[in-house]
Structures are given as C-alpha cells and as structure tokens.
Amino acid sequence: MSDYNWFEGIPFRAIRFKKEMIEEILNNFVMRDEDTVIVTYPKSGTHWLIEIVCLIQTKGNPKWIQSVPIWERSPWMETQLGYPIIINKEGPRLITSHLPFHLFPKSVFSSKAKILYIIRNPRDVLVSSYFFWSKTNLIKNPESLETYFEWFLKGNGTTGDWKNHITVAQAEAFDKAFQENMAGFPPELFPWK
C-alpha cells in the first residue's frame, strides 16, 4: 500500500494528501461559527450534497454552480489544493471533508459550525468505490471486486474504515443534540419516531 500516506493508522492517497497537512488541520485549523462542513465517507454522495447546498445558498440560482468549479466552491479541507483556498476564504465557508470525525480540527468542537454528515449503504459505497478506483491511476487498482472487498473490510479505503468513519458514540451524541435542538417543533415533522 505504498500509494498511501498513513496517519494514525488510516491510509490517505499519497497523491493529494500529506501527513503534515492533516496534523496542521487537526491541531491548528480554526473553524468559524458561520462555516458549513459537508462530511462523508468517499463515494457516499458528496458531490450531490455539495450541489444541493450550493443551490440552497444561492436560493436556486445556478449561475454560481455553472461558473465556479466544485473544488473551489466547497474545497476539501484535507487536500493540498483545498486547504489553502479555505484558509484564505472570506465570509461563511462551505467546506468538504472525507476525514473521519476523530481527525477533525479540534476547533470544530468549540465552534457553532454546521456539520452535514451523509451516510450511504456500505454495499453501495463498496461497489461505487471499486468501479471508480479501477478506472483511475490515483491508487493501485484492485485486481477484482473480491480483492477490493477484502481491502474495504480491513479499513484500507481512502480514508480508513467505513464503519468507524463516525463512531456509535459520536452518532448517539449527534442524535442527542438533534433531539434537544428540535424539542420545540411539532412531532409530526419527524415521522421516524
């Protein structure tokens, strides 16, 4: 797995990710209260969510989306291309990340930044990832879906292990915060209860 840089036991693609940058983000990046962060495991619908949020921010006007590349509208925090854009950006920032939550900037926990976490069925992530990576030269191509399945189960994805991208404890904490923040709303808004 020499196509990867490892950080705290998690493989990141060597082409766009540097260990020093992830350390810098974790320890020194300052999350602003007005920031919105889209967090996903790779191949979980990241681009779709970015497009939806960008349309919401522009009240449905597609001009921004049509004229500014996605990586500039919502840069990936942990990439060599995205990080400089984010730290120099004025005003509210739309940020994207595939980092597992325990590698997020420490400042996120003391800010009021909005976190949008999208999760996708792991079978769909597996198949989408396999076909995506097998058509690129960004990492060693898996020999077969079975080989990629073994890599996936071992947590050798591009940002670690799908099942530990967000832990059960973190999911429960988010659920508790959500319930507290939504306490005054009518129960019929939440049909899953």
Catalytic positions are 98
Three-state SS for 121-186 is: CHHHHHHHHHHHHHCCCCCCCCCCHHHHHHHHHCCCCCCCCHHHCCCHHHHHHHHHHHHHHCCCCC
Radius of gyration of the chain (CA): 17
**Inter-residue contact 149 to 125 (CB < 8 Å):** no
Given a contact cutoff of 8 angstroms between Cβ atoms, the answer to whether 38 and 173 are in contact is no
What 3-state class would DSSP assign to 4?
strand
Contact 136, 158 (CB under 8 A): no
Report how far apart, in Å, the C-alpha atoms of 63 and of each of 38, 67, 76, 109, 158 are: 21, 6, 21, 34, 32
